[in-house]
Structure 1
Amino acid sequence: MSSKVSLLVSVALFLLLAHAPTPSVSVTCSPTELSPCLNAILYGSAPSGQCCGKLREQQPCLCQYARNPSYSGFVHSNNARKVSGTCGVPMPNC
């Protein structure tokens, strides 16, 4: 009997932990973090793995960059769309 109770408790704990909210990670929005993507965005070269990693990391900031007149041209460029597609990061709909 105790093994059944132990199993039920284990399953219940597993289910509780599996559905627990994950802590959110704070991202510092800094366009300079996307410098590994500069050649790909400016010249259409293939994005590096580092570029894709930084793009994923900065994804929550892309709308902020798109609204900034200094960066909006880069965010909305054809090459930026290609980079985001290659990296598997959807372009924001802001």
Structure 2
Amino acid sequence: MAMKFVALLAIVLLFVLVQETKVTNGAVNCNPLQLSPCANAITSSTTPSAICCSKLKEQRPCLCKYMKDPRLQKMISSPNAKKVATTCGSPFPRC
């Protein structure tokens, strides 16, 4: 039950922050809410879904920006987030 609460909290946090973090980076729309399909995999160490991996690869150019945002940093730079990225074949960029 605690994991479901954490996942829900993460999704709500991403939703709230999206209004301030939306930025166009070339052809990529940097929007942390796009990573919400990964919330369960990040918070509970489950295998990421195909949708999660697709969104993670799409948002990869934005990850450094997300990691610099103090409100997103804890989730984006967590060990589980890095495991999800590696599992998806899209390791985090060096920022």
Query: Normalising by structure 1, what TM-score?
Result: 0.71
1:45 aligned partner, one-letter code: T
Where does 1:15-94 land on structure 2 (aligned, <5 Å)? 26-94=27-95
Q: Distance in 1 between matches of 2:88 and 2:68?
A: 22
Aligned residues between the structures = 70
Shift of residue 74, structure 1, vs aligned partner:
1.0
Residue range with higher mean Cα deviation, 48-57 or 70-79: 70-79
Q: Distance in 2 between matches of 1:37 and 1:29?
A: 15
Give the secondary-structure state (helix, strand or coil) at the position aligned to 1:28.
strand
Larger radius of gyration: 1
Divergent runs of 4+, >2 A: none
1:63 aligned partner, one-letter code: C
Say which structure is richer in helix. 2
Q: Distance in 1 between matches of 2:76 and 2:53?
A: 14
- Root-mean-square deviation (CA), in Å? 0.9
Say which structure is richer in strand. 2
Shift of residue 75, structure 1, vs aligned partner:
1.4
1:69 aligned partner, one-letter code: P
Flag structure 1 segments of 5+ consecutive residues without an equivalent. Answer: 1-24
Q: Deviations over 1:27-72 (max 9, x none)?
A: 1000000000000111111100000000000000000000000111
Flag structure 2 segments of 5+ consecutive residues without an equivalent. Answer: 1-25
Question: What is aligned with 1:16?
Answer: none
